[in-house]
A and B are shown apart, each in its own frame.
Chain A
Amino acid sequence: MKSNFFRGMSHGIPIALGYLSVSFGFGIKAVSVGLSVFSATAISATNLTSAGQAAGVDIIAVGGTLIEMILVQLTINIRYSLMALSLSQKLDGKFSLPHRLIASYGITDEIFAVCSAQKQKLTPAYMYGIILISAVGWVTGTALGAAARQLLPESVSSALGIVLYGMFMAIIIPPARKQRNVLLVVVVSALASILFRYVFTAVSSGFAVIISAVIASVTGSLLFPVSDTEESEQ
């Protein structure tokens, strides 16, 4: 039991370090749009997801509706359902319903990737180890970023507004460069988003992201349906 927990923790260290930096960017962004350090940290502790949180903060900033918030979170985070589904099929017998209810909190892209790569069945202790250290990195980074945004001079903090977007680019550009199908999806989504920003301005920013992403993903799925091998490389 204990050794599984520590094995999970050790597998979570690189994730935690990555999260520390990404969530630092989120903390800065959240405070920039008017949230408190406490709210920013609370969002990270309860959500544990990057893009969903960033979009959620945008909706809070403009006073969007709760329906919009629900639809945005559904669209951005629906991929976790597939990951959860996939992980549910390699769970150890020790994974009773209460354990499943707790561990599902921590299904993120990175934790999913590490868990799926495990040869043996997943135990609750292992997943708790990896989730705990990753979540600590995520929440700590957010608090530090949010606090830094409040303390730093205006010239530095305004430049830091770009940090989260820089990370998003670093996530999408390398696969878009390698795979034409991903490039197509990225370009279609960006073009649709530009149209909403400058032409169909009546559509709120949250819905603009949803509609652009759905149009682009449907286009990609119709023109280039992925095979099982591509999917597992994700």
Chain B
Amino acid sequence: MNIALYIAVMAVVTYLIRMIPFAFFRKKIKSRFFRSFLYYIPYAVLSAMTIPAIFYSTGSIVTAIVGTVTAFVLSYFNLPLIVVALSATATAFIAGLF
């Protein structure tokens, strides 16, 4: 399929999600269930996208595990995003040299 079509569909859907409530709605969502759902969804999406895909992200399970453990430990101790990401990459790279 044409890649421009995919990109256009992504862009239009993402825009409409933002635009419709911003331009036209005025009321607040009252349902506690729905508000909870929206609160949790970003975490759930990132988790499902990361696990187990992260283990296949470097082309070698071994280097990916090294990087994943690094990322886990550093984010557990609240290090900044970029430090976590680059350290995971660096340790995966170093593991790949052996």
Whether A47 lies near B10 (C-beta < 8 A) is: yes
Whether A53 lies near B10 (C-beta < 8 A) is: yes
Contact of B59 among A161, A213, A214, A234 (CB under 8 A): A161
Enumerate A102-154 residues with CB–CB distance to B below 8 Å.
Answer: 103-105, 107, 109
Whether B9 lies near A22 (C-beta < 8 A) is: no
Q: What is the size, in residues, of chain A's interface with B at 8 Å between Cβ atoms?
A: 101
Whether A186 lies near B43 (C-beta < 8 A) is: yes
Whether B89 lies near A162 (C-beta < 8 A) is: yes
Whether B43 lies near A43 (C-beta < 8 A) is: no
Whether B43 lies near A172 (C-beta < 8 A) is: yes
**1/0 per residue B72-95: CB within 8 Å of A?**
101110111110111111101100
Instruction: Name the prevailing secondary structure of the B interface residues.
Output: helix
Interface residues of B, Cβ cutoff 8 Å to A: 1, 3, 5-7, 9-11, 13-15, 17-23, 25-26, 28-29, 32-33, 35-54, 57-60, 63-64, 67-68, 70-72, 74-76, 78-82, 84-90, 92-93, 96-97
Nearest CB on B from A165, distance (A)? 4
Whether A81 lies near B18 (C-beta < 8 A) is: yes
Given the known interface contacts A88-B26, A100-B22, A221-B37, the answer about A77 and B17 at a Cβ–Cβ threshold of 8 Å is: yes
CB neighbours of B32 from chain A (8 A): 225-226
Whether B13 lies near A165 (C-beta < 8 A) is: no
Enumerate A150-174 residues with CB–CB distance to B below 8 Å.
Answer: 155-156, 158-174
Whether B28 lies near A89 (C-beta < 8 A) is: yes
Complex Cα spacing A85 to B30, Å: 12
Interface residues of A, Cβ cutoff 8 Å to B: 18, 21-22, 25, 35, 39, 42-43, 46-49, 51-56, 59-60, 63, 66, 69-70, 73-89, 97, 100-101, 103-105, 107, 109, 155-156, 158-177, 181-182, 185-190, 192-194, 197-198, 208-209, 212-214, 216-218, 220-222, 224-226, 230-231, 234
Instruction: Name the prevailing secondary structure of the A interface residues.
Output: helix
Complex Cα spacing A224 to B35, Å: 12
Complex Cα spacing A47 to B12, Å: 8
Complex Cα spacing A42 to B7, Å: 8
Whether A162 lies near B51 (C-beta < 8 A) is: no
A55-B49, A77-B13, A104-B19 given; 19 more Cβ-contact pairs under 8 Å: A69-B13, A77-B14, A78-B38, A81-B17, A84-B25, A107-B22, A155-B93, A158-B59, A161-B58, A162-B54, A169-B68, A181-B40, A185-B40, A190-B51, A190-B52, A192-B48, A198-B52, A213-B48, A217-B40
